[in-house]
Amino acid sequence: MGSRDQIDLSKLPKHIAIIMDGNGRWAKEKGKLRVFGHRNGALSVRAVVEGAVELKIGYLTLYTFSLENWNRPKIEVMAIMELIVNTIHREIETFMDKNVRLNAIGDLDLLPNKCYNELTNAMDKTSGNTGLVLTLALSYSSRREILRAVRNIADKVNAGELRTEDIDEEIFEDNLFTKGMPNPELLIRTSGEYRISNYLLWQIAYAELYFTTKLWPDFRKEDFFEAILDYQKRERRFGMTSEQLN
């Protein structure tokens, strides 16, 4: 029986976040340029989105480009931006067909115009879709997101719209990029690195973490299903005891 058949459809995570890592190493192993790894990484994105649609997962959030990634060599940054444009362009009809809504979080104003326009057009076009919400974290830094929320809230307090004592988790979450989304229950990281790398720090407070040594371009639908199966075997206690849960 394949892992897909073992998945309990009544116990799926509503939101899965992924740190797609290892494209560069994958290419290097093959004696190719890093961009070759990113291109093959885009095929893994396609496979995972397909898997998420198949299982009717609500939200899939992919760490596509971090704020820190702007410091990579210009040629690599430009190649990734071009790949993002081409991938969105190529996949938009599939998104419409599969009822996928494209969304993005991060400092999007830093994106090159062409990328920003392709992205926002696709977000507009898919805005009425009601299936999977596919969020690309682009030019994203979780610490920046948290600072931005603090500033927004401080502005509201200064303007007399909010009292300090009324600030709670819900108000804080309403000021994050992920407003309105459930917090991820499962976070997957590929490539054998055991770090969070400034990704969704607030949102993953209770997420189950799944690490695999597979490099991102080798991570396909079956691996995605494996991660979900692993998640389903865990007991999520939220600070309580096993006995309380049972």
User: Which long-range contacts does 209-212 make (Cβ < 8 Å, 24+ apart)?
Assistant: 210/186, 212/188
Residue 69: active-site member:
yes
Residue 21: active-site member:
yes
The length of the chain in residues reads: 246
Query: Exactly one of 13, 15, 18, 23 binds ligand FPP (CB under 6 A); which one?
Result: 23
- Of residues 137-156, which lie at the interface with ligand FPP (CB under 6 A)? none
The reply on whether position 41 binds ligand FPP by CB under 6 A is yes
Position of minimal CB gap to ligand FPP: 24
Query: Exactly one of 64, 135, 142, 178 binds ligand FPP (CB under 6 A); which one?
Result: 64
Torsion sign, CA atoms 163, 140, 194, 233: positive
CA 125 to each of CA 113, 118, 129, 236: distance values in angstroms, whole numbers, following the listed order: 18, 11, 9, 37
The reply on whether position 51 binds ligand FPP by CB under 6 A is no
- Candidate segments 4-12, 37-45, 146-154, 195-203, binder of ligand FPP by CB under 6 A: 37-45
d(CA 139, CA 228): 27
The reply on whether position 187 binds ligand FPP by CB under 6 A is no
d(CA 157, CA 163): 6
The reply on whether position 69 binds ligand FPP by CB under 6 A is yes
- Residues 6 or more apart whose CB falls under 8 angstroms from that of 118 comprise 84, 85, 88, 89
User: Quick check: helix, strand or coil at residue 134?
Assistant: strand
Angle between helices 113-125 and 74-97 (to 10 degrees): 10
The reply on whether position 136 binds ligand FPP by CB under 6 A is yes
The reply on whether position 135 binds ligand FPP by CB under 6 A is no
Angle between helices 221-232 and 34-55 (to 10 degrees): 60
Query: Exactly one of 12, 18, 35, 42 binds ligand FPP (CB under 6 A); which one?
Result: 42
The reply on whether position 122 binds ligand FPP by CB under 6 A is no
The one catalytic residue among 69, 129, 152, 198: 69
The reply on whether position 100 binds ligand FPP by CB under 6 A is no
Which residues are catalytic, by number?
21, 69
The site for ligand FPP (CB under 6 A) is made up of 20-25, 38, 41-42, 45, 62, 64-65, 69, 80, 83-84, 87-88, 136, 191
